[in-house]
Amino acid sequence: MTTQQYRANARKILVLVSGSRHDALIMGFARAALRGAISVGCYANIRFIDQFIPDPVARCCNCRNDLERIGDRCCRVRDGLDTFMRGELQQADGLILCSRLHWHGFTAHMEAFLERTRCSLKPDQALRRALGARRNIAMGAALLMEDQRAACLRNVESRMQECAQNIGGHMTCITTGNCTGGMPGAERDYRAAHTATEHMARGLLFVSPNDFTMQCVPCTPIKEEQRITVGAWGSLPDIR
């Protein structure tokens, strides 16, 4: 196979990150997903949700009840989401979402992406058919759960399955790094969660659409007896 044929046949995996570029924990999951995609010969790209949804609060959801009056382009918010869905998302074979999980649910940018994707594609049947007809997008998620009260795990699977159906694809795997338990501020080992994310990215495009797995990988404290004390009185050796 020539280089041109390989490039033409190479499949594309898009890693979508909800968070800052300076968030080392989420970037660790994103880099693991990129390594897994590249290791099986796929083109991989990383995008941050705040690049095309700068304001996560702008999600009015009025389009559900106002379709007849405002026509096909029902979304009142004018940002880069529509361009993203008609461009990079439509060209992708696989999509991996990376986000934190708080006790109340997803982060603000991930919540905005899930809600506005549903609202934007519901009336735009042409774009929805284009996303589903070109490729059956395989979707995965790498999540970081940080709170013991993360009741959002009950709804994570249903929300992700709904998002996959909205973009004309299927959900293959959800990998959750569990950081609950232990002393606050303890340094944790994320290597097992990163390995699971990399393995998920390797098999993302090779899993049957009918197969779905959800795994929770514990991120155990490395040195639980040493707490990171911020703003405490004491000498430097006492502040770890």
Residues 3-17 pLDDT 10s: 343 344 578 999 999
- Please report the pLDDT score of residue 227 as a whole number: 47
If one counts every other C-beta atom within 10 angstroms of the C-beta of residue 81, the result is 19
Dihedral sign from CA coordinates of 39, 179, 157, 82: negative
- Give the alpha-carbon dihedral of 108, 96, 82, 119, to 10 degrees: -60
Measured distance CA(68)–CA(150) in Å, rounded: 39
User: How much is the pLDDT for 182?
Assistant: 60
Residue 169 backbone dihedrals phi, psi, to 5 degrees: -135, -160
The dihedral built from the CA positions of residue 19, 105, 100 and 168, taken in this order, carries a sign that is negative
Highest mean pLDDT range out of 117-121, 180-184, 225-229? 117-121
- pLDDT for the residue numbered 2: 42
Tens digits of residue pLDDT in 22-45? 888 899 999 999 999 999 999 999
- Assess contact for 180 and 148: CB atoms under 8 A: yes
d(CA 212, CA 136) in angstroms, rounded, equals 15
Spell out the residues 6+ positions from residue 188 whose beta carbon is closer than 8 angstroms to its own. 179, 182, 219, 220, 221, 222
Measure the CA–CA gap between 44 and 38, rounded to whole angstroms.
6
Q: What is the pLDDT of residues 127-166, one digit of tens each?
A: 555 555 555 788 999 998 876 555 556 678 888 888 888 8
Residue with more model confidence, 38 or 116: 38
Residue located via tokens 């490729």: 135
Residues in Cβ contact with 87 at an 8 Å cutoff, skipping those fewer than 6 apart: none
| Spatial contact of 192 and 217, defined as CB atoms under 8 Å apart | yes
pLDDT above 70: residue 213:
yes
Nearby residues of 50 by Cβ (< 8 Å), 6 or more positions away: 20, 56, 109
Using one digit for the tens of pLDDT, what is the confidence trace for 48-95? Answer: 998 888 877 765 555 555 544 444 555 667 778 878 888 888 888 999
Q: What is the pLDDT of residues 97-106, one digit of tens each?
A: 999 887 767 8
Distances in whole angstroms, Cα of residue 30 to Cα of each of 19, 171, 206: 11, 18, 20
Q: Which domains does the chain have, with CATH numbers?
A: 3-238 (3.40.50.360)
Quick one: pLDDT band at residue 187, thresholds 50, 70, 90? confident
